[in-house]
Chain A
């Protein structure tokens, strides 16, 4: 079956530090890949996505590249801010038809805390 593995957290950084959160996946075929962010007390929001190999998703200074050869989709940001403190989830959606079309498989989440 499909699965997503994220690096263990929590991750604690100082403001303006470089961020990497690793994500690897197992899936048949060519899934779409996502990063979702959950701010304290809120639901999940889509941060960025990539739908095919070598695509780079980007948003709010965050980037992730779909690497099929290493089955990875690592999240990076060059300079984090205190407001980036949140839980980050890597997820995949199998590109199959029928009723499974919208279902997401999530990683376990990585807590990021950024200090001033």
Chain B
């Protein structure tokens, strides 16, 4: 199992550009999450998907959209990037049989200039 994979690992955007961060898991997990990590602020939830076909806003959803393409894939889109979106983005998933543990991807480091 590859676990949770994310692409790209690094990205630099100019203000106003758009991009999609990809996340996939091969563990047959139902629930998937997108977080952003900023210095001194821990991880904050952007959006989550409790199951295929459903998505919900988290703590900091403004400026982002998500798509739960199928059970494996959960993408995060920035339609018009802003410098405030410079961050490290983590995708995570949770096993229905082990709801106490989230499995995290390696992260995408995004810089918006």
CB within 8 A of A99: which of B41, B42, B56, B90? B56
Query: Residue-by-residue, is B40-53 near A (CB-CB < 8 Å gives 1, otherwise 0)?
Result: 11111100101000
The reply on B58 being an interface residue by CB < 8 A is: yes
- How far does the alpha carbon of A46 sit from the alpha carbon of B54 in the complex, in Å? 26
Q: Which residue of B is nearest A9, CB measured?
A: B40
Closest Cβ neighbor of B31 among chain A residues: A102
Cβ < 8 Å to B, chain A residues 74-108: 89, 93, 99, 101-104, 106-108
Contact status A44-B48, CB under 8 Å: no
Q: What's the Cα separation between A21 and B107 when bound, in Å?
A: 25
Interface of B is mostly: strand
Please tell me if the beta carbons of A103 and B99 are within 8 angstroms of each other in the complex: no
Report the contact-size class of chain A (Cβ under 8 Å from the partner): 20 to 34
- In the complex, which residues of chain A have a beta carbon less than 8 angstroms from the beta carbon of B45? 103-104
**Contacts of A23-58 to chain B: CB distance below 8 A:** 32, 34, 41-46, 49, 51
**B43 contact set on A, CB distance < 8 A:** 44, 89, 104, 106
CA distance A32 to B101 in the complex (A): 11
Residues of B whose CB lies within 8 Å of any CB of A are 4, 31, 33, 40-45, 48, 50, 54, 56, 58, 90, 92, 94, 99-102, 104-107
10 chain-A/chain-B pairs, Cβ below 8 angstroms: A4-B42, A32-B100, A41-B106, A43-B92, A43-B107, A44-B90, A49-B100, A102-B31, A104-B45, A104-B102
On A, residues with C-beta under 8 Å from B are 4, 32, 34, 41-46, 49, 51, 89, 93, 99, 101-104, 106-109
